[in-house]
Amino acid sequence: MAHSPPIPPSAAAVPPLRTIPGSYGWPVVGPIADRLNYFWFRGPEKFFRKRMEKYKSPVFRTNVPPTFPFFAGVNPNVVMVLDCKSYAHLFDTEIADKKDTLLGDFMPSVGFNGDLRMCAYQDVLEPKHAQIKKFIMAILKRGTKVWTTELKVNLDEMWTTLETDISSKGSATLFSPLQHCLLKLLLKSYVGADVSETAPDLAKSGPTIINTWFALQVRPTIAINVIQPLEEIFVHSFRYPSFLARPGYNKLANFIKTQGHDVVQLGVTEYGLTEEEAIHNLLFVLAFNSFEGFTLFIPKLLTRLLSDSTLQEKLRVEARQNGGTELTFTSFKQMPLIQSFVYETLRLEPPVPTQFARARKDFTLSSSEASYKVKKGELLCGYQPLVMRDPTIFDDPESFKPDRFLGEKGAELLNYLYWSNGPETGSASHSNKQCAGKEYVTVTGSLFVAHLLRRYDSISGEGSTIKAVEKAK
């Protein structure tokens, strides 16, 4: 079992015992009312914030979607943990059972993943979890050799496409060029294959295939802001069948099977996986964790840069003075302000906002103010955007402070930066559930920022739409 992560200083004494406030409401009616508030009337953040204020507690009972009428068997009841101290229980493998809790009590059909339960759905006590996680970490290590060079080549290509779009249309949107860049980077680094050369059709259609496959799995749990009540009726009311994604998914799985022979065999011979387990887990990590993770995260960095030209200039100076001539894995450490900017973006806009775990046994859960009895089998739910604004840990928590994580105080705060399902100071291992790609995410985010600031003397726009770029002279 892994050690528990550091807990906030105020945790030294056990705070007074309190009954968990909140209720699940009337059967059927309570969960439906909560679902409508969550998706329609308030949105997740306001939904949780209002309750936290109502109960004057970061720990309370509520329902989270998906719920009735067509999700029979899915129990929406959760105990929310919304400050740093209570949320940290989710990382304690003595208490937190993560079996099939990636999306709460709801789990998409295993038909999406070759009829197998992927690593992210397995608890640390399941022997397969350690085998697969070690395999994934070995794939990443192998890919390190090419990661930064491939990243640079593909980012250059992506920016050239964006520049062409700006000259022809007056503006360009990051989304599609970024996804093509990511697909090529990930297939080269994890599978060792150049998809543009070996399967040009797949290079073109890959992003749409992955987006469709991903959306069909997660949509019942995520707001997409189309016109209501259409979203509630058509998007949040039923499970999507996996056959809808299968033709595209099979193309990607076959690509890995034929082009990734060496890496698949590594899984079989070194980690005791079957060929099918190696292929489907590799595809899940590539498509679900990495491709969709970076698709959510990288645009947030760009949006922050576009929104503040003074900050952009400050970071540009650092990117040009530090980090070496070629950007590498170690450049990250030589650009502390960019590093801190990346951490602050992850703090305020964690790309995977919600985490769950089931109580393995009866235990006492502590928040910064009180302690609560939790029963074995109850589902804990953390919502990071609020946890990462815990005023007992972060000064002026609502403000974006790009230099927050600098210096000794900043280093201490990294103990409470939880975007990766564990503290930023922790490390992923086969005996915990921390994100296997944690280091790659922060390094890649920093290199994305440094690369663009070195390439352009100025870049302007809004959100992830770029209106003008001025190339470095």
> Any contact of residue 102 with ligand HEM (CB under 6 A)?
yes
Selected range binding ligand HEM among 305-313, 330-338, 362-370, 414-422, rule: CB under 6 A: 414-422
> Any contact of residue 98 with ligand HEM (CB under 6 A)?
yes
* Beta carbon nearer to ligand HEM, 222 or 352: 352
* Beta carbon nearer to ligand HEM, 190 or 456: 190
Q: How far is the CB of 275 from ligand HEM (least distance, A)?
A: 19
> Any contact of residue 447 with ligand HEM (CB under 6 A)?
no
Residue whose beta carbon is closest to ligand HEM: 437
Nearest to 105 by CA among 382, 435, 419, 381: 381
Angle between helices 246-259 and 200-218 (to 10 degrees): 130
> Any contact of residue 312 with ligand HEM (CB under 6 A)?
no
Q: How far is the CB of 298 from ligand HEM (least distance, A)?
A: 8
Q: In angstroms, rounded to a whole number, what is the distance separating the alpha carbons of residues 422 and 138?
A: 20
Q: How many residues bind ligand HEM (CB under 6 A)?
A: 25
Q: How far is the CB of 36 from ligand HEM (least distance, A)?
A: 25
Q: How far is CA 175 from CA 178, 190, 402, 406, in A?
A: 5, 22, 24, 30
Looking at 84, 88, 119, 319, which residue binds ligand HEM (CB under 6 A)?
119
Q: How far is the CB of 41 from ligand HEM (least distance, A)?
A: 26
381 known member of a binding site: no
Q: Quick count: other Cβ atoms within 10 Å of Cβ 18?
A: 14
Q: In angstroms, rounded to a whole number, what is the distance separating the alpha carbons of residues 80 and 92?
A: 16
Selected range binding ligand HEM among 106-114, 228-236, 397-405, 418-426, rule: CB under 6 A: 418-426
Using the Cα atoms of residue 156, residue 162, residue 164 and residue 167 in order, give the sign of their dihedral. negative
Residue type, 200: P
Strands 77-81 and 465-471: unpaired
Nearest to 471 by CA among 217, 233, 260, 160: 160
Looking at 433, 446, 450, 469, which residue binds ligand HEM (CB under 6 A)?
433
Looking at 22, 143, 260, 351, which residue binds ligand HEM (CB under 6 A)?
351
Cα angle vertex 308, ends 307, 312, to 5°?
120
- Answer yes or no: are the C-beta atoms of 188 and 150 closer than 8 Å: yes
Q: How far is the CB of 113 from ligand HEM (least distance, A)?
A: 13
Strands 77-81 and 379-383: parallel
Residue 458's SS3 state is strand
- Check residue 17 and report its DSSP letter: B
Selected range binding ligand HEM among 192-200, 290-298, 320-328, 457-465, rule: CB under 6 A: 290-298
Selected range binding ligand HEM among 109-117, 173-181, 238-246, 284-292, rule: CB under 6 A: 284-292
Helical segments of 58-199, H only: 84-87, 127-169, 175-186, 195-198
Selected range binding ligand HEM among 43-51, 174-182, 223-231, 415-423, rule: CB under 6 A: 415-423
Give backbone dihedrals phi and psi of 215, rounded to 5 degrees, phi first. Answer: -60, -40
Selected range binding ligand HEM among 26-34, 56-64, 254-262, 349-357, rule: CB under 6 A: 349-357
Contacts of 226 (CB under 8 A, 6+ apart): 235
- Answer yes or no: are the C-beta atoms of 123 and 129 closer than 8 Å: yes
* Beta carbon nearer to ligand HEM, 57 or 189: 189
- Answer yes or no: are the C-beta atoms of 362 and 355 closer than 8 Å: no
What residues are paired with 465 via a beta bridge?
Answer: 173, 462
> Any contact of residue 355 with ligand HEM (CB under 6 A)?
yes
Token duo for residue 238? 């039923």
* Beta carbon nearer to ligand HEM, 37 or 189: 189
Looking at 51, 133, 280, 451, which residue binds ligand HEM (CB under 6 A)?
133
Q: How far is the CB of 326 from ligand HEM (least distance, A)?
A: 22
* Beta carbon nearer to ligand HEM, 63 or 289: 289
Point out the annotated binding site for heme: 435
Give the footprint of ligand HEM on this chain (CB under 6 A). Answer: 98, 102, 119-120, 133, 136, 140, 285, 289-290, 293-294, 297, 351-352, 355, 419-421, 433, 435-437, 440-441
